[in-house]
Amino acid sequence: MEMTVLFAKRLQQIAAGSKVLICCLDPCFREALDDDFNIYSSHYRSVDAVILSDIKELMGALDKGYDIVHLLCPVAAGGLIEDSSGATLLGSDLITMCCERDVKLLWIANDNKPDDYVRGFRAQGKRLNLIMTISRRGKKFANFLEELLSRISKGEKLPVAWVSLVPQAEGPWQQDLPGCIFFAGRPDEKLPS
């Protein structure tokens, strides 16, 4: 009888859904943070939005057990994340920290140069889904985020949802999407609401 109770508690814990952190390292991203928070909160029950003061505070936030980390931050030459004090963190080090804390999806959600992502965000061999935004393209980002979260919060696997929204052949449909790079390091992961 006692095992049944423990099993029931475990099932309830799994059914609770994904925990989401939306954060930024610079108050200039406040509007985007608020917009993205509103979209996430319509799909997930546990969503925290925070303007972080520095990288050290970001590392502390990662320790709180988030499944999705949606980060707005400047990425400097070579893939360095910078805070307002000038402290830096290599994107690959952030990826490693997220993997160590079992983050399922890391999304860098503001405009940054693709070369800086390629140089500093090494995810190959890492168990993490990673999305890196090159260009939000105004409302196109919000529309895409809404569509993608609508699918994955209902249990669709991220790579499946991605391919259905972002066909891999070139065409005029690309004008309706934000510019993003997607790395599927956890292709079978589900992120239910």
pLDDT tens per residue, range 101-160: 999 999 999 999 999 999 999 999 999 999 999 999 999 999 999 999 999 999 999 999
Confidence (pTM): 0.89
Asked whether residue 170 carries a pLDDT value surpassing 90, the answer given is no
Residue 178's φ and ψ, nearest 5 degrees, are -70, 160
β-pair partners for 51 = 24
Q: Which DSSP state fits 182? A: E
Show the beta-strand stretches assigned E in 57-157: 68-72, 75-76, 80-82, 88-90, 105-108, 129-135
| DSSP string over 72-84 | E--EETTTEEE-T
pLDDT digits (tens, 9 = 90+) for 22-77: 999 999 999 999 999 999 999 999 999 999 999 999 999 999 999 999 999 999 99
Residue 186 has what pLDDT? 95
35-38: long-range contacts, CB 8 A cutoff, minimum separation 24: 35/142, 36/70, 36/72, 36/109, 36/142, 36/145
What pLDDT was estimated at residue 104?
97
Domains and CATH numbers, the chain: 17-184 (3.40.50.720)
Predicted pLDDT of residue 3: 38
Of the candidates 22, 106, 19, the residue with the CA atom closest to the CA atom of residue 65: 19
- SS3 at position 190: coil
